[in-house]
Amino acid sequence: MILENPRNNKIVFLKLFFGIIFFPLLITIISYLLLSFNINEPYINILSIGVTYDLLIFVPIIYLILIWNSSVPKTTVIPVFFLVILIASYIIPSNNQTHLSFIKTWGLPVIEIIAFLIIFRKVLKINDLYKLKKDKDVDIFSIIKNVINSIFPGTVGAYLSFEMASIYYGLICWRKTKNDFIKFSYSNSGIMPVISIFIFLLVLETTILHLLLHKWNNFIAWVLTGLSLYTFIQIIAVLKSIIFRPIEIRHNNLHLNYGILRNSKIPIENIEKIELEKSIHIDSFSPFKDFEDTNIILFLNKKCKLYGLFGFIKEYDSMSIFVNNPQEFKNIISEQIKGIRV
């Protein structure tokens, strides 16, 4: 058994403390104090330029140096860069933000594109690794979440995971993943016609609104059309992911999926009983419970976690779901439970 060296853990902690908290805070305080002095306009402008590049270059470089040999991903320098831009926007006088505005206008989009390419490259690299090993136990959505959360933890990571997954399922993914796991579709729950109608109304409204706004302001018309197009891609992604991410039984675990909107993993041994009925008193797994039915209730002997959009987490010990073939679902799960408990 290999024991971790407490001294190494202490060194890592000190590096993270100085890299994430102490030095950035110290530089920010010094910059704020310098800009608070009553200095003539030409000099305050020069000082503002110096503070801008101190925060935007010096802080990320110090952060990188301190985490270089640690287990912290080097890509975390990206959110640090965004943070110092936010700090600079607050402490630098608005009249002296010429250089900062230039970086916001041209630098931020470049950083965003680089971050997107890094994430996309990592997702493809991990996916290719699974293919090389001929491992069919792969879920692209889980890979996307893991990769992004390693760079942007917390709510930001959850938001970006949804955005990346929307692009993947909306534009790239056009066929189901082939594997030998037992699958249960839930596409007949009633939500598919609702989403289809919403897509039709979105296309109709976007076309009419674009034609009307085009007569008033061509730029605004195209901006709103672009936003509507992106919304259209997200809705298509949800629609396709409902089809491409069914409920599955993997390695003695029941994986409940609702497209890219919700997911949960239930160990088969934690399922106490299954009832084929609809209940209005038990929470539905669907985020659109007002628009679709349920036909199965799962009762658990241990609480499990439901993961939703933007970092939403909820514990539950009973859950109502919908599957296209409820009797088959109950029979297979019951057999799985018997096999485990024998």
Taking alpha carbons only, the member of 53, 56, 50 closest to residue 35 is 50
Residue numbers of the domain that contains 282: 247-341
Residue 198's H or E segment, with its range, is helix 191-216
E-strand ranges in the chain read 182-184, 247-250, 253-258, 262-267, 271-275, 296-307, 313-321
pTM of the model: 0.66
* 39-53, 196-210, 291-305: least confidently modelled range: 39-53
138 has pLDDT over 70: no
Return the C-alpha torsion angle 320, 326, 329, 333, nearest 10. Answer: 50
For residue 18, the model assigns a pLDDT of: 56
**Would you say residue 154 lies in a domain?**
no
**Would you say residue 26 lies in a domain?**
yes
Q: Which of 96, 112, 130 is the last residue in one of the domains? A: 96
315-326: pLDDT as tens digits: 998 899 999 898
For residue 29, the model assigns a pLDDT of: 67
Banded pLDDT at 266 (limits 50, 70, 90): very high
CA distances from 55 to 51, 81, 152, 216, 322 (A): 6, 9, 20, 42, 52
289-298: pLDDT as tens digits: 878 888 899 9
Same domain, 233 and 253: no
For residue 305, the model assigns a pLDDT of: 92
Q: Other C-beta atoms within 10 Å of 186: how many?
A: 27
As beta bridge partners, residue 262 has 258
CA distance 320 to 264: 13
**Would you say residue 102 lies in a domain?**
no
Same domain, 310 and 236: no
148-165: pLDDT as tens digits: 777 676 777 787 788 888
For residue 44, the model assigns a pLDDT of: 66
The one-character DSSP state at 284 is B
**Would you say residue 11 lies in a domain?**
yes
CA distance 191 to 14: 51
Rg of the chain on CA atoms, in Å: 26
Q: At what angle do helices 41-53 and 77-91 cross, to 10 degrees?
A: 170
Q: Which of 220, 244, 268 is the last residue in one of the domains? A: 244
Report phi then psi at 125, rounded to 5. -65, -45
Whole-number percent of the chain with pLDDT over 70:
78
For residue 17, the model assigns a pLDDT of: 56
Same domain, 234 and 265: no
2 has pLDDT over 50: no
Q: How many domains are there within the chain?
A: 3
**Would you say residue 20 lies in a domain?**
yes
Same domain, 305 and 258: yes
Same domain, 300 and 227: no
Q: Which of 96, 112, 137 is the last residue in one of the domains? A: 96
Residue 63 contacts residue 20 (beta carbons within 8 Å): yes
